[in-house]
A and B are shown apart, each in its own frame.
Chain A
Amino acid sequence: MASRRPYGWVSLVIAGLVLSSSVPAGAEAGADDWPQFRGTHRDGISRETGLLDSWPEGGPKERWRQPLGEGYSAISVVDGRLYTMFAEAPAEESTPAAVNAEAGAEAPKTDKPAPKTEYAAAFDAATGKELWRTVIGERIVTEFGNGPRSTPTVDGDTVYVLGAHGELMALATSDGAERWQIQLTEEFGTQRPYWGFSTSTLVEADLLLIESGGPEGKSYAGLDKATGKVRWTTGDAGRAGYSSPLAVTMAGERRFIYVTGGQLRAIDTAGSEVWSHPWPQGETHAMPIFIPPDKVFASGAEGVGAALVQIKPDGDSLAVEEVWSNRVMRNHFSTSIVHDGFIYGFDNATLKCISIETGEQAWAKRGFGKGSLIYADGHLLVLSDRGKLVQIEATADGYSEKGKIQALEGLCWTAPTLADGKLYLRNQTEMVSYNLEG
C-alpha cells in the first residue's frame, strides 16, 4: 500500500461533489459507437438496448463477411466506419519481385514468401468493404500468432494506432493520411515487449496517453494528441507490458490506471502518481476495471490471481486497501466485465461469475477455451477461442445460454465489438458482422 500525493478528498466529500465514472473526458464518439479498445468506457460494456433477447434458430442474421489479414487488434467503430489493424503481404504491384519485373530485371529466385506488412485500415460498417489502408510497419511474427495487437483509438477525425514494433501514428479517419508518427523504441528507449507492443492508446482531452515502457522515468507518457510532441513522461515501471490504461473519474478527478511493473497505479493528467498498490510483476495482461465509486479490480494469470482494492482518504493522502484477493478469477489476456454486482470473466479457460463484494464464485462454465466477452442489454456475448459465439444471460443465478452459433473458424483471441446494434468479430483470416437488433 502506498499513498504518494496529497489530495483534497475530505473537502470533496463534504461538498458532495464526488463524481465517479469511467467516461472519457474527450470522447466525441456517438452513443452507439465503440471508439476504442473495450468500447466507449473501456469496460467491455455496450449501453445499447433493444437487442435480441434470444436468438432465432441459426443465430442472428449475418450481414457480411470479409477477408482480413493476421492480427489480434480489435475493431473500433465510429460513424459507420470500422477501424482495425492487420498484417498481410503487400499488394502485387509493390512487391520486390513485381518491381524488378517492371524494371525488366529477372525476379530473384527465392522460396521465401513476400514479407508481410502491418496495416491500419478503415472499412464501411454496412458492407465490410475496405475504405483505406495505411502501412504501419513490419509484421511481427511469434509462436502464438502474427500481426498487430493494439486496437485503434478514434478521436474526432483522427485515429491513433500502434504497431507491434512500436510505431505510434495519428491518421486521418477520412483517408488514413499520416498526421504524425513517433517510434516508441527511439523516442523513449523502449525495448519491444516479447510478444510485441499491445497496449491501446487512450485519448484524454488534448492528450494521448500511452504506456511508453521506457527506462529512466519514461514508463508512461502524455503526448500532444495533435502533434505527437511529448508533454511529459513518468514512472519507472520497467519494460512495457501488454495491458492498456483505464481512464476514470474518482472523486471528481481524472485518473489513469495502469497495471504494470509490479504496481497497480493511478496517475493524473500531469503524469504524477496519485496512488499505487503492489502488484505481482508480469502475468497481468488484462485491463484493470473500475468499480465506482472507489474500487479497482485487477486480475492476472495463475500465481497472480485477482484482487479488489479500495482507494480511501488517509489524511491528506490516499490509502489503497485490499478488500479481497483470491485465485478464483485468473484472467490471462481477456479482460473481465462488471455487471450488477458481479464480475464475469475468464479464469484461464473457464468462464466464471464472481461476487464483487466477496470474490466468491457464483458459477463456472467451461467450453469456451481462452475466450473473450463483452456485455450488452442483459447478456454476455462470449466468443470462444475457436469461434463459437454464445449469448448468455448476465445473471449470477447460474449459467443460462440464450443462443449459440459457430461464427468463425480457427483461433479467435479478439474480443467482440458492438456498435449500433451490429456485432463485429474477427480472427486471423476474416471479419464478420451480425445484426443483433431486436
Chain B
Amino acid sequence: MFRTTITLLTLSCTALTILTAAPAAGSTVDEVITKHIEARGGAEAWDAVQTLKVTGSYTAFSKIGSFTLHRKRDNKFHLDHVLGDKPVEIGFDGEVAWWVNLWNGIPWAQTIPGLDRAVLMQDVDFESPFFHYREKGYIVEFQGEDQLDGQSVLKLLLTRPDESIETWYLDPESYLEVAYDAQGSDFGSPFPQRAYFEDFRQVGGLVMPHFIEKQWYTRDRIMEVEKVEINVEIEDTIFSMPLPGDMGAFQVMVGEWDVKVEQRDSPQAPWAESERASTVERRMDGALLEERFTQQGFHALRSLTYDRFKERYRLSQFSDFTGHLDIQEGLFEDGRLTTSNVETGTPWAGFGQTFHQRLSIFDLSENGFKIEAERSADGGENWFVFSKATYSRKAE
C-alpha cells in the first residue's frame, strides 16, 4: 500500500493555497460544498485515501496528553487518547461504537450508549461530512452568510440520518471549516457543543485542520495534530470492540450449523448417530453467544460468556427435557474450552442418580467446531464421554 508520511517539520514551511472566491450569498448548497471540497484538497485526492493515522497531543481538563487516531473507510474510527490523566480508547467499526473509558470506572470495553454514541457519530466521517453527503444520506441546507464571534461565515445546516442536526460554519474566503454547533454530551447529559477548526495544512494533497477545539458545558478539549500518515496498513481488528477474555475466539461459532451428533448412555454402549440443526447468535456485541437447537423433540438453549472477575468462562444450558438450568465454568487453554458444573453445584438429578457434566468446545474454525459432553455419576471422580457433536457450517 502506498504510504506517505509527512511530519510537522516538513510541513512548517508549506504554504497552504487558500482558495479565494466571490462571496457566496447567492450560491447554492452544492456550489458552496464544491468549493469546500476543493479547499480540502478535492474529491479525487480524498477518494484515493483508504486509511489515515493521525498523532499529536490531546488536552483535556487542562492536562496535555497524547492521542493516536486511526481512520479507515468506511468511517471506521479508533481513537486512543489520554483524557486528563486517564487513558480512554474509543472505537467504531461501522456498526458498533465502543469505548474503554476509565472515567466511567470500567476498565474494559463497553458499547457506547445513546447520546454519547450520537455525539461520536459527529467524528467518524472519514473526511469532512460534506464529501459525498448525499450518498451518506445526509441532508445539507445552505443558510447564507452569518457572523460567528465577529467573523463572517457561511452557514450550513447538516441533518444526519438519525435526524441529529449540526450547524456548520465555513470561512467565506477559503471555504474551510470554522466551527460547528451540535449536541454534546457530558457523562451522558446533553449540552450544546461547539467545535472549532484551525491551522489547516496540506498533507499529501489533502488539506486538514491541525487544531481542533471542542467546548461544551465546562469542558474544553483540544486536539493538536503533529503527524499525519496516509494509506498506512491498519488492521480491521483495531476498530472492533475488544471482547472479554478470548470471547473473540468463539465468534466463529456464530451462524447456522448442521450438526452430527453421536450419543451413548454408558461407556460400553454403542454410539448412536443423529443429525440436527443449530443456530448460534451474537448477543451484546458478541460478549454473549447464544445457541438454540432442537434434539429429539426437546428444545435447548445454551449461552457462553466470560466472567472477567473470576477470569473464567461461564456456560449455561437449559432444556425442556431436564427443566434445569445448568451452569458450568472453566478455562480456555490450548484451543480447548473445558467447563464443568462440579464447582458451580448445578448437577442434574434423575433416574436415582446425580449427574455432573463437563463440556468441551474445540477445533474452532470458520467452517466448524466440536463439542464433547462428559458425565460423572460420582461427583466428578470419573468421567465418560456421552455425547459428541460435530458442527459444520450450513451452505449459504
User: Which residues of A are interface residues toward B (Cβ below 8 A)?
Assistant: 143-144, 283, 301-302, 332, 348-350, 361, 363-364, 366, 369-370, 385-386, 410-413
Contacts and interface: CB of A to CB of B under 8 A. Distances in A.
Task: List 9 A-B pairs, minimum CB-CB distance, nearest first.
Answer: A349-B220, A385-B62, A364-B149, A411-B62, A332-B218, A301-B218, A302-B217, A349-B215, A369-B220
Given A332-B218, A350-B215, A369-B220, A364 B63 contact: no
A386 B57 CA distance: 13
Contacts of A302: 191, 216-218
Contact of A411 (B63, B218, B222): B63
Contacts of A369: 59, 62, 220, 222
A265 B219 CA distance: 28
Contact of B64 (A143, A301, A363, A386): A386
Given A302-B218, A349-B220, 7 more contacts: A283-B218, A350-B215, A361-B150, A369-B62, A369-B220, A385-B62, A386-B62
A349 B191 CA distance: 15
A98 B346 CA distance: 55
Given A143-B84, A386-B59, A363 B150 contact: yes
Contacts of A412: 62
B213 interface: yes
A413 B62 contact: yes
B318 interface: no
Interface residues of B, number: 18
A408 to B, nearest CB: 12
B61 interface: yes
B196 A366 contact: yes
A50 B65 CA distance: 40
A348 B222 CA distance: 13
A413 B84 CA distance: 14
B196 A348 contact: no
A301 B84 contact: no
A249 to B, nearest CB: 33
Interface of B: 59, 61-64, 84, 149-150, 191, 196, 213, 215-220, 222
A349 B215 CA distance: 7
Contacts of B220: 348-349, 369-370, 385
Contacts of A301: 217-218
B180 to A, nearest CB: 15
- Most chain B CB within 10 A, of A332, A349, A385, A386, is at A349
Most buried by A among B217, B220, B222: B220
A426 B215 CA distance: 25
Contacts of A348: 215, 217-220
B192 to A, nearest CB: 8
Contacts of B219: 348
Given A302-B218, A348-B215, A144 B61 contact: yes
Contacts of A349: 213, 215, 220
Nearest to B103: A143
B62 A364 contact: no
B344 to A, nearest CB: 35
Nearest to B57: A386
A176 B61 CA distance: 34
Contacts of A370: 62, 218, 220
Contacts of A350: 215
A349 B61 CA distance: 11
B87 to A, nearest CB: 14
A262 B69 CA distance: 43
A385 B216 CA distance: 17
A332 to B, nearest CB: 5
A363 B150 CA distance: 7
Contacts of B222: 369
A348 B214 CA distance: 11
B78 to A, nearest CB: 25
Given A349-B215, A350-B215, A363-B150, A410 B63 contact: yes
Nearest to B151: A364
Nearest to B221: A349
A369 B224 CA distance: 13
A143 B104 CA distance: 12
B215 A144 contact: no
A144 B222 CA distance: 17
11 contacts: A301-B217, A302-B191, A348-B218, A350-B215, A364-B150, A366-B196, A369-B222, A370-B220, A386-B62, A412-B62, A413-B62
B139 to A, nearest CB: 28
Contacts of B64: 386, 410
A143 B63 CA distance: 12
Nearest to B150: A363
A144 B85 CA distance: 9
A385 B62 CA distance: 6
B356 to A, nearest CB: 42
Nearest to A411: B62
A403 B63 CA distance: 24
B295 to A, nearest CB: 54
Nearest to A385: B62
Contacts of B216: 302
Contacts of B215: 348-350
A143 B216 CA distance: 19
Contact of A366 (B84, B213, B218): B213
A33 B294 CA distance: 86
Q: Which of B62, B149, B216 has the most CB of A within 10 A?
A: B62
A398 to B, nearest CB: 8
A370 B63 CA distance: 11
Contacts of A385: 62, 220
Contacts of B59: 369, 386
Contacts of A411: 61-63
A302 B189 CA distance: 13
B187 to A, nearest CB: 12
A38 to B, nearest CB: 20
Residue of A144, A283, A369, A410 most packed against chain B (CB within 10 A)? A369
Contacts of A283: 218
A413 B61 CA distance: 10
Contacts of A386: 59, 62, 64
A199 B217 CA distance: 23
Contacts of B218: 283, 301-302, 332, 348, 370
Contacts of B217: 301-302, 348
A386 B58 CA distance: 12
Name the residue in A143, A301, A412 with the highest tally of chain B Cβ atoms < 10 Å from its Cβ. A143
A364 B62 CA distance: 19
A76 B217 CA distance: 31
B84 A144 contact: yes
A40 B99 CA distance: 49
A350 B219 CA distance: 11
B293 to A, nearest CB: 49
Contacts of B150: 361, 363-364
A364 to B, nearest CB: 5
Contacts of A366: 196, 213
A144 B215 CA distance: 18
Nearest to A384: B62
